[in-house]
């Protein structure tokens, strides 16, 4: 059987068409207003095919969000091999940062559609939990919390909120800067903080 017409390939193409239809419809009319019929009509698939893969539009969105969370978690796992020596230059973006921004740029329409819904709270919570878990198991694992200048839970919360805020702004702007440029921006913000990056220097 030709690989292009195999059942697995057809399923992948069907799911991709449904996902693209969902993204377009969210942008046009919002998630609350669209129906399964809208999705199947736009994707050019029948309702029976849709229900082979998803229970309803909410299940469709949930599965897509879980795929994003798993992809982000896989990228963040790269940070587990980093140590402080990898952070010795604010002029060199970390590969894990570049990978993260590359993923979001490749899926910019989808990410913008979901975040444009007001930022699904459950979705953002799942991403934060995945990143937090891997920060604790990886990069932060070798550090002594008692030496932190602030409690570790506030440090992690600050890192996650700041970085996701940068990602959201970048998506809203249309991903003008390259993933490498954005990874460098995050590196500089992380190293120098919001005050020093304004150019302000303490006397």
Does 2 or 40 have the greater pLDDT score?
A: 40
Distances (CA, A) of 86 to 124, 138, 186: 28, 14, 14
Does the pLDDT of residue 102 top 90, yes or no? Answer: yes
Q: Where exactly are the structural domains of the chain? A: 1-54, 58-194
| CATH code for residues 1-54 | 1.10.10.60
DSSP H/E element including 155: helix 152-172
Does 168 or 102 have the greater pLDDT score?
A: 102
DSSP H/E element including 162: helix 152-172
Does the pLDDT of residue 182 top 90, yes or no? Answer: yes
- In this prediction, residues 33-56 reach a mean pLDDT of 96
The whole model's pTM is what?
0.79
Gap between the Cα atoms of 52 and 131, Å rounded: 32
Q: What DSSP letter does each residue of 14-78 carry, written as one string? A: HHHHHHHHHHHHHHHH-TTT--HHHHHHHHT--HHHHHHH-SSHHHHHHHHHHHHHHHHHHHHGG
User: What tens digit of pLDDT does each residue of 25-40 get?
Assistant: 998 888 889 999 999 9
Q: What's residue 15's pLDDT? A: 94
Q: What is the mean pLDDT of the chain?
A: 82
Question: Where does residue 64 fall: left (phi above 0), alpha (psi -120 to 50 degrees), or beta otherwise?
Answer: alpha
Helix (H, G, I), strand (E, B) or coil at 7: helix
């Amino acid at each position: 059987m030709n690989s292009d017409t195999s059942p697995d390939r057809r399923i992948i193409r069907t799911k991709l068409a449904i996902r693209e239809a969902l993204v377009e419809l969210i942008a046009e009319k919002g998630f609350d207003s669209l129906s399964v019929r809208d999705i199947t009509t736009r994707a050019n698939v029948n309702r029976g095919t849709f229900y082979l893969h998803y229970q309803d539009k909410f299940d469709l969105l949930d599965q897509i969000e879980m795929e994003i969370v798993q992809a982000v978690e896989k990228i963040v796992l790269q940070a587990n091999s980093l140590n402080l020596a990898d952070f010795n230059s604010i002029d060199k973006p970390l590969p894990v940062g570049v990978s993260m921004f590359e993923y979001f740029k490749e899926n910019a329409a989808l990410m913008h559609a979901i975040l444009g819904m007001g930022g699904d709270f459950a979705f953002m919570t799942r991403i934060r939990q995945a990143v937090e878990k891997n920060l604790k198991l990886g990069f932060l694992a070798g550090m002594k919390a008692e030496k932190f200048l602030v409690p570790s839970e506030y440090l992690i919360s600050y890192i996650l909120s700041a970085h996701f805020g940068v990602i959201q702004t970048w998506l809203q702007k249309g991903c003008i800067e390259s993933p490498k440029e954005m990874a460098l921006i995050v590196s500089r913000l992380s190293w120098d903080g919001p005050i020093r990056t304004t150019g302000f220097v303490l006397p």
